[in-house]
Structure 1
Amino acid sequence: MFTRIDNFLAHHTPSWYRTPTIQTITLGLVFFWVFAAFTTIQFYAASTYGADLAADSVSAVYFCFTVSCLVAPSVVNKFGCRVTMFFGVLAYASLVLTSLIYFLYGGPDVIWSRRMVVAGGAILGCGASLLWTSQGRSLLQYASKAEELNDLDYAHDTSNKKSKTQTGRLMGLFWSIFQCSALVGGAVSFRYFNKKPEGSAALYGLFLGFILIGALFTQFLLPPSMLKGIELSNKIQHVKSTSCASLSEQTPLMFNVDSGYTDEQVPTVSDGVDESNQNWTEEARGTFQLFSTKRMACLLLLFFYTGFNQPYQQATFGNRFFTRRTIGAELIIFHLMEILGAIVVGRFLDDDKQDERTPNQSLCKKARAKLCLGSFLIINSVGNILAAVQEYNAKHGASSTAHDISSVTVIPPSFAFAFWGFADAQIQVYSYWLIGGFYDSGHDHARAVGFYKLVQSFGTSVGYYFIPVSRLAEVSQLLVSSLLFVIGTGLAFAQLPP
């Protein structure tokens, strides 16, 4: 089925659709629809399910996410990105379907319906590992293809040089579209919860529709081998209109047939184009070997921090220092800064314009990595310092704990949210950019992203576990988060791009 869809799209879509940029946008739209539903479900879980069921379901999600990341790279490499992404999205529908049953036929006092919601969360967690691993491999392969197409364009047009790396730009584009899901989900939930304070079948029916639209969008993704550059397309059309007979002498396609295709040259996709030839044991060994490498050992704490930080930032800090109506505005600020950070940092990491002082390409790349990590250290530290001031004032009773949007006292904690949002996008984009620089093959991309998501998800699980102040006090949560952040970033300086 998937192969037939590929062949149909390859022969019936315009050239601009078969570009890395458009495919990255399509990938972003998959996540936009899925997480417009899931982000809202997770954020309002305590309101819709009750505190106990919410804790159980979210714990099941992240526990299964973490464990299944051990095998997700092997599944992605054996079955291909789009197949696993499609079923990964459908797994998100499991929590919505079990929630519908809970609201229609169960309730807080019906044990079997509560267990069904937890089971739905567990299935979602397994699907999340497939979805994010296939997303990482797809995006890094699109970036590699974009770099290949850029090299061909530059080889035939020296007046139009562009950046050599494309991972930062495409990851920034994807992350921006992905973060818009939180804005849309927040707007939907704001309108709904203004009228009704608890969840219902109607709300989760809407969420189910969002997820099914996301699953549909996976069918519009093309394998990297089918992609072409806009510049190449324009050259081909110009050559065709000038002289069809001289096409073989003038078009760069003859040098690399996978770099782009005319309408007559689109290849037929065969089954297994995205699949690994290794057996399951060899695939699993390739994934587990990452745990013993010095490279991943140095990055492990930073990856862990990217999951551990937000439970404190959005739950512990946000719910204590903002009134209920202000939290919505603060989340908008947070995610707008995520979008801005992704765009700015992605373009900066890919900008390899050279001058007389940086004639060496690899040194220039390392310098950009150092500047990115250094600025991340500063920006995130400012957010943590502002949070520490709020914690100190709250502990000593120097100011009211919860700030309202109508009060000027809301400005300092709001700036903390803004700095955290920018810094989170910064390190997420940097991590993908770094993985793209370390590994070349799609199979290695899947393994590395699977490792990254495993450690990140484990960090999120631990972060949510320590949210209750009976387990770890508020100031201690901030202190532990800050230590992980400083040590993890310091170790990351030891693993810069090659």
Structure 2
Amino acid sequence: MIKYYSSLTQVIILGFVCFCCPGMYNALNGMGAGGQVDDTTGTNANVALYTTFAVFGLLGGGVNNILGPRFTIFLGGLTFALYSGSFLYYNHTHSPAFTIAAGAILGIGAGLLWAAQGAIMMAYPTENRKGTYIGLFWVIFNLGGVLGGLIPFGLNYHSTVGNVNDGTYIGFMVIQIIGAFLGLALAPPERVIKDDGTNVVVQPTPNVLREFLEVLKLFGNKWMLILTPAFFTTNFFYTYQFNVINGTLFNVRTRGLNSVLYWAAQMVGAFAFGYFMDSKRFGRRKRGILGLTVVFVGFTAVWLGGLFLQLQFTRSTTADHTINPHNTIDFKMSSIYTGPLFLYIFYGMLDAMFQTYCYWLMGTLTNDSTQLSRYAGYYKGVQSAGGAVAWRIDAVGTSFLAQFIVNWALLTASIPLMAPVVYKIAETSGCNEEGYEPRPLPKDDSVYASDEKA
């Protein structure tokens, strides 16, 4: 029997919160242009979103340490519903101001939600189950993107042109509001019990000034600085994948189907990779080295395939409706649909593996949930700064090939730079950065048989 205060239960609840809130956002954003034919408003909204996200992602860890995860996630979750509602408004008015403002507000809320999420996901599991828990969370979370993609696919099945309909946006809003309130069901961190029967390590609640200073110290933390290029890159490619590939090449119903398959691939990639990162066959450092190698080789292979697709079209040819009227590729056109589809699936799978690896790597640095909350905030802040730059690059009309080259170059350069942190990995982490070492983990499987303790 799974107990409410067990770390597993709490991660599952968190997964369903993100299933409802960012999961639905991912489904909406994954269609390209927020489901609109003209991508200008959606792109500018994402620039505003990721700009504020970069700031409040950094501050989100501190806010979470002060307010606690329940209220931090609840407040953040409500902003996702506001953003979906802004596209419903745009469908009727074609006025972009509210949608762009809602994007900026969502950046604030997303920064809060994801900082709290990262702290829970990295601090609640025992050291030998962090990869598994991260993978489990990613499966539940991306199930939201899968089911969310089915909404526009089903509601727009008989439409091959135009924007998605009102029912799509209303459906997203309702689910996201439910998800925000579900965040209130999370238990206080100090009451959560890990799989080995110990409590989650939580430092005393700091005052606002002390917490702000602790966040600032991250800019002098050598491990965070080394990881900064990789963090910057982790969402950078979303603009290219969502707007250039899915939003440009496919009609509206096929974009919904592609979104389903993209997030489904993320579920598979995250769970399998997370399970591998907890493998007992190798020591933790060796798993770190192997994981980094798999991510690097995988990205190289997939983006090489992407180059062949990108060389077949440009921004000018897709804008010419005599050549490509209303984003014409439909899922029934198997001869031209299959190749781009599988490429898009592998893009999604590699994204999940990359982010799972980043969370796992941060989780090897400490077991202190307070510090991990700051790490998660730093990660999301830097990641969102990259997203803001990427969306702005697209907004100013940068050629598709140039966007592709920038993405591939960033991935190729940033992933190997993570190696010094991988080399630093020890078999067990201190509960804080002052050198406290927890008791050794048991070598048998008794660590998993903890339901009676919880």
Q: TM-score, normalised by structure 2?
A: 0.81
| Structure-to-structure mapping, 1:335-484, within 5 angstroms | 335-353=263-281, 364-394=283-313, 404-405=330-331, 406-467=333-394, 471-484=397-410
| Matched residue, 2:94 | 108
Q: Are residues 417 and 333 of structure 1, via their aligned partners in 2, closer, same or farther at CA, if it must alter by over 3 Å?
A: same
CA contact (8 A) 1:323 1:404 kept: yes
| Matched residue, 1:240 | none
> Which letter does structure 2 place at the counterpart of 1:447?
R
Larger radius of gyration: 1
Q: State yes or no: 1:330 paired with 2:316.
A: no
CA contact (8 A) 1:338 1:424 kept: yes
| Matched residue, 1:220 | 185
Unmatched tracts of structure 1, length 5 or more: 1-13, 148-163, 233-252, 260-272, 355-363
Further displaced range: 417-426 or 79-88: 417-426
Note the C-alpha offset of 1:414.
Answer: 2.9
Q: State yes or no: 1:292 paired with 2:257.
A: no
| Matched residue, 1:242 | none
Number of equivalences: 409
Q: State yes or no: 1:487 paired with 2:413.
A: yes
Q: State yes or no: 1:63 paired with 2:13.
A: no
| Matched residue, 2:433 | none
Tell me the secondary structure at the aligned position of residue 71 of structure 1.
helix
CA contact (8 A) 1:81 1:274 kept: no
| Matched residue, 1:122 | 104
CA contact (8 A) 1:338 1:422 kept: yes
> Which letter does structure 2 place at the counterpart of 1:466?
I
Q: Structure 1: how far apart are the matches of 2:312 and 2:2?
A: 59
Further displaced range: 299-308 or 214-223: 214-223
| Structure-to-structure mapping, 1:157-172, within 5 angstroms | 164-172=127-135
Q: Which runs of 4+ in 1 moved over 6 A?
A: none
Q: Are residues 208 and 327 of structure 1, via their aligned partners in 2, closer, same or farther at CA, if it must alter by over 3 Å?
A: closer
| Matched residue, 1:150 | none
Q: Structure 2: how far apart are the matches of 1:204 and 1:410?
A: 27
1:25-50 Cα distance to aligned partner (Å, 9 max, x none): 11110111113432344336454595
Q: Structure 2: how far apart are the matches of 1:102 and 1:411?
A: 33
> Which letter does structure 2 place at the counterpart of 1:384?
W
CA contact (8 A) 2:60 2:112 kept: yes
Select 1:81's aligned residue among 69, 83, 86: 69
| Structure-to-structure mapping, 1:309-324, within 5 angstroms | 309-322=237-250, 324=252
Tell me the secondary structure at the aligned position of residue 375 of structure 2.
helix
> Which letter does structure 2 place at the counterpart of 1:89?
G
> Which letter does structure 2 place at the counterpart of 1:221?
L
| Matched residue, 2:169 | 204
> Which letter does structure 2 place at the counterpart of 1:287?
V
CA contact (8 A) 2:115 2:376 kept: yes
Unmatched tracts of structure 2, length 5 or more: 315-322, 427-454
1:269-300 Cα distance to aligned partner (Å, 9 max, x none): xxxx9785322222112112212232122211
Q: TM-score, normalised by structure 1?
A: 0.75
Q: Are residues 97 and 189 of structure 1, via their aligned partners in 2, closer, same or farther at CA, if it must alter by over 3 Å?
A: closer
1:159-218 Cα distance to aligned partner (Å, 9 max, x none): xxxxx5221111100011111111111111122223674456554333222112102221
> Which letter does structure 2 place at the counterpart of 1:168?
G
Q: Structure 1: how far apart are the matches of 2:273 and 2:304?
A: 22
Q: Structure 1: how far apart are the matches of 2:357 and 2:46?
A: 27
| Matched residue, 2:435 | none
> Which letter does structure 2 place at the counterpart of 1:277?
T
Higher relative contact order (CA 8 A, sep 6+): 2
Note the C-alpha offset of 1:403.
Answer: 5.5
CA contact (8 A) 1:311 1:467 kept: yes
Q: Structure 2: how far apart are the matches of 1:475 and 1:56?
A: 21
Select 2:13's aligned residue among 23, 26, 31: 26
Q: Structure 2: how far apart are the matches of 1:138 and 1:440?
A: 11
Q: Are residues 126 and 377 of structure 1, via their aligned partners in 2, closer, same or farther at CA, if it must alter by over 3 Å?
A: same
Q: Are residues 77 and 416 of structure 1, via their aligned partners in 2, closer, same or farther at CA, if it must alter by over 3 Å?
A: same
CA contact (8 A) 1:307 1:458 kept: no
Q: Are residues 409 and 38 of structure 1, via their aligned partners in 2, closer, same or farther at CA, if it must alter by over 3 Å?
A: closer
Note the C-alpha offset of 1:444.
Answer: 0.8
Q: Are residues 51 and 346 of structure 1, via their aligned partners in 2, closer, same or farther at CA, if it must alter by over 3 Å?
A: closer
Percent identity of the aligned residues? 27
Further displaced range: 487-496 or 410-419: 410-419
Q: State yes or no: 1:177 paired with 2:104.
A: no
Q: Structure 1: how far apart are the matches of 2:347 and 2:28?
A: 22
Q: Structure 1: how far apart are the matches of 2:225 and 2:400?
A: 29
1:231-266 Cα distance to aligned partner (Å, 9 max, x none): x8xxxxxxxxxxxxxxxxxxxx7xx6x48xxxxxxx
Further displaced range: 406-415 or 164-173: 406-415
> Which letter does structure 1 place at the counterpart of 2:351?
D
Q: State yes or no: 1:187 paired with 2:150.
A: yes
- Alpha-carbon RMSD: 2.8
Q: Structure 2: how far apart are the matches of 1:131 and 1:298?
A: 25
| Matched residue, 1:241 | none
Further displaced range: 214-223 or 198-207: 198-207
Q: Are residues 56 and 475 of structure 1, via their aligned partners in 2, closer, same or farther at CA, if it must alter by over 3 Å?
A: closer
